[in-house]
Amino acid sequence: MPSIETILSPAFFHLYEEGLEQKNVVVIDILRATTTICVAFANGAKEILPVAKPEEAASMQQMGWIAAAERQGETVDGFDLGNSPQDYTKERVGGQKIALTTTNGTRALQMSSAAKHVWVGSFLNIKTLSDTLRADNSDVLLFCAGWKDKFNLEDTVFAGAVACLLAETFSITDDATLAAMDLYQQAEADLPGYLQKASHVNRFKSLHIESDLDACLKTNTLNVLPEFKNGTIQNCHNA
Ligand code: 3SL
């Protein structure tokens, strides 16, 4: 059986790099980058280029791309979009190419580029993602983007949710994954309630963007699977 391991923070990524080219990585930034990327594709975005710096996103504007940038949870001044999934509507992103930089999510994508596949995970596309991981039948790394190299609850809870869905067809002996599954089982009856204590949810409260929490915790509402490949993200799932 293939295995599932969980990387609880980008600071641990180097511990999992051996054999990366044979493994599938799921990049997880539930609040909000990987959720927003799923919503953008569901609403017809053509391509999303993850970049490290706001200046790189801005430089794509001249070529007709939408430039999106988030830092400290806020839209960077002068950019077309930030990182709220609620702003990535059909009207705004349908048929568009987007250059996106966020504090943690876009960095985690770039770190994973050597993997067999790099897929974008969120509660919204959890079934499509899990079905694809099962069908591909390779070892999986669930990579939590965290917050500035620190552990966070929401990404870990999601890693646990994916592992619970795949537990019958994957071998799970990794303590980080077992802990994530325990956490998910504790949270699953009321995910928004459980995550009220999370540090990023408290950041949302201070920025008055609490409504993004509900938008990010809808489960299995989207049939998309964004894949980061050759430096850019496209939807690889044709429903
Ligand atoms: O860190 C990230 O990539 C973002 O998802 C953070 S925020 O939710 O936009 O603040």
pLDDT in tens, 34-63: 999 999 999 999 999 999 999 999 999 999
- Report the C-alpha gap between 183 and 179 in whole angstroms: 6
Share of the chain above pLDDT 90, in %: 97
* Full-model pTM: 0.97
Probe ligand 1: pick from 29, 109, 122, 147, max atoms within 8 Å of CB?
29
Give the list of residues 6+ apart from residue 177 with CB closer than 8 angstroms, or none: 4, 5, 6, 142, 159, 160, 163
pLDDT at 239: 57
Give tens-digit pLDDT for 173-218.
999 999 999 999 999 999 999 999 999 999 999 998 899 999 999 9
Mean pLDDT of the chain: 96
Q: Which atom of ligand 1 is nearest to the CA of 72?
A: 10
Query: Which structure tokens are listed for 139?
Result: 């070892």
Beta bridge partners of residue 81, listed in sequence order: 68
Q: CA–CA separation, 35 vs 67, rounded Å?
A: 18
Please give the single-letter amino acid code of residue 194.
Y
Structure tokens at 45: 């975005």
Question: Could you read off the pLDDT of 87-123 as tens digits, one per residue?
Answer: 999 999 999 999 999 999 999 999 999 999 999 999 9
Q: Which domains does the chain have, with CATH numbers?
A: 4-225 (3.90.1560.10)
74 pLDDT above the threshold of 80: yes
Tell me the mean pLDDT in the region 146-175.
97
**Cα of 173 from ligand 1 centre, angstroms:** 30
Cα–Cα separations (whole angstroms), residue 113 to 74, 108, 117, 180, 186 = 26, 9, 8, 24, 32
Give the residue, out of 36, 37, 70, 195, with the most ligand 1 atoms within 8 A of its beta carbon, to mutate for a pocket test: 70
CA distance 72 to 131: 34
Q: How far apart are CA 62 and CA 224, in angstroms?
A: 29
pLDDT at 237: 82
pLDDT computed for residue 208 by the predictor = 86
